Structure 1
Amino acid sequence: MAEGLGLKGPRGWAFRDVSFHAGAGALVALEGPSGTGRTCLLLALTGRMKTQEGHAEVGGLRLPRKMAAVRRIAGLGQVPGVSELDPSLTVAEHLRERALLQRRFDGSVRALLRRPGTRAAEARARIAEALAAAGLDLAALPKGERTSVRDLERLEALRLSIALALMGRPRLIGVDDTDLKLSDADRAEAWALLRAVAAAGTTVLAVCSEAPADALRITTVGTTVSTAAATPATEPAEPSEPGTAAEPAAATEPAAAEGPAAAEEPTEPAAAEGPAAATEDDITEEGAADALAETRRA
């Protein structure tokens, strides 16, 4: 749930007035062109970026007040510059590393005191469970589990990133660039995967350029953010209400960038109508880029 959520960067608002409600197990698509605050919204809702306006609630935890607690129940799939796969590591190395981190930071003290054989068996079981949920068949990869990430197809890399996130058994999972550089067939498979994850009870936030018709769509159009109603992908554990349209802020031309800024994707900014002179209350592409760059440096 989000009410009037807004996040401001050094050169403007990344997004404002975002309001919607989604039940557990919903598929929520953060839709819009690059540079409209989609990734910032994803990171804010998963407890990775602090908002300045409004509030949100994830699993009964209020944002931005309970960001650390939300991070413990929210996993991240692929997010460029934040949770990227290491191209030099193999699939097996990624999985083993995540299993070790999971045991070290999320396990109980009693779990750390278990016999090494027991811990290893539990890690293998958790890895197998996550791979099955993500639909990643290691035997089908060119070199099996020893396949380097750089040799994975984009859909395979997406499945791996989701498997890594699911190893923490989160209640919420966020995925960036869901449909970027995917063929129509691969895009259909990607959305089928996310529907299956949502159907298992994990709420899914997916950044995309075009949402499927059965997702709850949070649409970023031009330089403003609004929400559009849609039918949830699955029957949620709690009733899901359709998103309500947000009051769009005044659209302006994006201000000229000053110095290098890390943008979400190197694409042309969306066309905007309105006065050329931007004010501090305008939602700008630079605002989203600056806010995202600060998070990547943190």
Structure 2
Amino acid sequence: MTTLITGAAGFIGMHVAAALLDRGERVIGIDNFTPYYSLDLKRARVARLEALNGKSFSFINVDFGDANALSHALSGATIDRIVHLGAQPGVRYSLDNPSAYIHSNISGHLNILELARHRAVAHLVYASSSSVYGMRADTPFRVADRADTPISLYAATKRADELMSETYAHLFRIPQTGLRFFTVYGPWGRPDMAVWKFTEAVLRGHPIGVYNHGDMLRDFTFIDDIVNGVILALDHPPEDDGQEKPGGFATPHRLYNIGNNRPEQLTDLIAAIEKACGRKAQINLLPMQDGDVYQTFADIEDISRDLGFAPTTPLAVGIPSFVAWYRKEWMKRW
């Protein structure tokens, strides 16, 4: 069994690849090392996979937003399944560089759909985002809720991906599962995310910029729980049985939320980081930023019922795990 993982140099991609390799599967990872954040971190993730699973893991440096380059790079590869995690991430960056989101998240998603179509893959699992729900006041966010009022281009591209996937599921009967991730954190995480930024600031003695004056709620989800959900989904493709599935589709396509099902105040996150670091934070309160949302809160009833997904990692466990990793693996790079 060979699984193609896009964004293999990314945070979630590396962890999913490691989990599949650990159970004896083969993984082909692709990434093109965009400089959105530290290339050293991305290279270190790939090096870790190669060091631990050299015989079962192969890596290709290719831009999946370039259809010809992708086709050429994978011309001799056998692919049974695809986990499409590569994308241009970040809500705020989409205000500054919108074309990067069209290239990776729209053209790139189309190229992966075409790959899945022509290789007749058994299942395509792809990353969506909680951002598709927009600025909602009613919580928790349910997959059945409308998702047609995005407040960032990033969110709009992710919703577009879901609709493109539904078209391909309808036309070509490609089994697909879209996963709406909710604020993922943990070891080997992303430097642009709050957990990393706050931890680094506390350890360096720098001030933390806290938006909306700290009055924001996030459904922080630990990476191990996310990986468990991705693999549960991957191993159980939707049936082409004409029955309605989460997301409202009667094709072999479904959508799931993957979150901790427990939103936390930013101030509680900071307190957990302070405790794990053994230092107090210097807090700089700021107004809400354009494109950001006040709260996220995942209703996970669908994925729990269908696949048995159950997150097990609270902030009190996940934050010390991240801080310990950061101190061991990343502080030496300062």
Say whether the fold is shared (TM-score over 0.5): no
By relative contact order (CA 8 Å, sep 6+), the higher-ranking structure is: 1
Q: Higher helix share goes to which structure?
A: 2
TM-score, with normalisation over the residues of structure 1? Answer: 0.36
Q: Give me the TM-score of the superposition, normalised by structure 2.
A: 0.33
